[in-house]
Structure 1
Amino acid sequence: MSVEISKLEPIKRVNLTSQVMETVKAYIAENNLRPGDRLPTEKELMLTLGVSRNILREALKSLQALGLIEIKVGDGMYVSDFDYSSVVTHISFALSRTEQQLLHFIEARLIIEVGALDLVVKRAEDHDLQELEELNNRLESTTSVEDAAELDLDFHKALLAIADNPVISEFGNFLGQFFTEARHRVSTDARVHTAKEHKDLIAALKDRDAERAKETMMRHIRTWEEV
């Protein structure tokens, strides 16, 4: 009895570099290694894992780019003090800049910035709100399109910083960068409208009204769907 050839599945190719990366990450986790702890030498890893020097070095460079390890020439390899910005930078290279992608960014930004407002309302101090007001006043008064774009970005960075969560800040700031080019195309009327929405948001934060702040932020971000 014969079996149809179509029922056979192709052999999956194993990416050795990815395997080495996962093995090293598992080693760090299973041994509870902390930032500053030394990792095995390159020679020890080659012998233990049974891979070539090129494969190992490619994996180690990728781990370093992700901010997971630090390679000190002539000294050795160490566990890094994890840097979220390294991961965000790494992700950015894998994303395209199409119109469809912009819509994806808008959706992601809604989730992050609207979701962060519960923490912002809870943790905002008077000096935080004052900083937001100062940035928005500068945005309202500037006549430079470039300055307005940067001030709008700075406003949102300062807002997310109030949440006091580095993961939220890094991902929110990363998403915000993708709107910079679009900001440079907005009209004077749009910038005035942006400043007005910022004022409404600040007022909601002062009143410790998380729901009103969320509604304002949702309206604010969704205007980018029309840009």
Structure 2
Amino acid sequence: MDSNSWLSNPVEKGSVSRIVLERIKEALINKQLRPGDFLPTENELAKGFGVGKSSIREAIKMLEAMGVVEIRRGQGTVIREHPDQHNVNSLVFQLLLQEGDVQELIDLRAMFEVSYTTVAMHRATVEDLQAIKLTINDFEAKIKKGEHELEDDLAFHRAILASTHNVYIIKIGETILQLFRSSIRKSVAQTPEIALDDHKRIFKAFCEKDETAIKTIIYDTLERWRENLS
């Protein structure tokens, strides 16, 4: 496959900047562009796609906002080797704009949380187990001082996600956690001791590699969490 073929065909009519963005995405999928590569110049992109430079600029701004590219003054636009964690996550907005009901949200979290916890259970190192245990200890200490907050709960889930050692699972998991931040915050504020106990129960089953217990505990936890989704 010609490494420059993605650039040589004019785009069709429509939202030109979005079509340009799609072309660049396809080039990444097909490995014609790779992390660390510089995009062609603005003039080269405009000529290759047969569009105005304003459309190219708009597409680049969209990619920059999503953390896909970095504009380096005097050098050009480079595909990031690691996505910028502080940039816009468009998937979060897409999920937030859906009009699913409470049961659909329960289904989403249950399916994903059981799956990634099970994967993590089989891959966790001694260091991972120590990191997960530390989040539980920190959460418990914060509760006793009355200083607990949302991030103390999320730290547990993030530690388990990290234990999967899978960048795709971690990224999607972080996105789903953002979707549920409000309801988790409410749960932590109202019943922190119950949230802590859930973490302890999950961790015990995790260490014992008991998949059935993990599934049962998570489903039980989510049924109580349902009340905070209203």
TM-score, length basis structure 2 = 0.78
Report the CA distance shift for 1:97/1:15 in structure 2 as closer, same or farther (over 3 A).
closer
CA contact (8 A) 1:132 1:158 kept: yes
Aligned to 1:164: 165
CA contact (8 A) 1:65 1:90 kept: no
User: What are the equivalent positions in structure 2 for 1:56-205 lying under 5 Å apart?
Assistant: 56-83=56-83, 85=85, 89-96=89-96, 104-141=104-141, 142-143=143-144, 147-186=148-187, 190-205=191-206
1:143 CA drift (Å): 4.2
* Secondary structure of 1:147's aligned partner: coil
Aligned to 1:35: 35
For residues 30 and 220 of structure 1, what CA distance do their matches in structure 2 show?
41
1:139 CA drift (Å): 2.4
Report the CA distance shift for 1:55/1:102 in structure 2 as closer, same or farther (over 3 A).
farther
The 4+ residue runs of structure 1 with deviation greater than 6 A are none
1:29 CA drift (Å): 4.7
Report the CA distance shift for 1:45/1:191 in structure 2 as closer, same or farther (over 3 A).
same
Aligned to 1:210: 211
Identity of aligned residues (%): 29
Matching residue's letter, 1:173: E
CA contact (8 A) 2:138 2:152 kept: yes
Matching residue's letter, 2:151: E
1:59 CA drift (Å): 0.9
For residues 224 and 44 of structure 1, what CA distance do their matches in structure 2 show?
53
Question: CA offsets, 1:129-151, max 9 Å, x none?
Answer: 23323322332341466624321
* Secondary structure of 2:51's aligned partner: coil
Q: How many residues align?
A: 215
CA contact (8 A) 1:85 1:170 kept: no
Give 1 or 2 for the bigger CA radius of gyration: 1
Question: CA offsets, 1:139-179, max 9 Å, x none?
Answer: 23414666243211111111111111122222222322344
Question: Comparing 118-127 with 89-98, which one deviates more in the overlay?
Answer: 89-98
TM-score, length basis structure 1 = 0.79
1:215 CA drift (Å): 1.8
The answer for unaligned runs of 5 or more in structure 1 is 1-12
Question: CA offsets, 1:182-220, max 9 Å, x none?
Answer: 344347772222222211111111111122112212222
RMSD of the TM alignment (CA)?
3.0
CA contact (8 A) 2:68 2:84 kept: no
For residues 223 and 111 of structure 2, what CA distance do their matches in structure 1 show?
12
1:124 CA drift (Å): 1.7
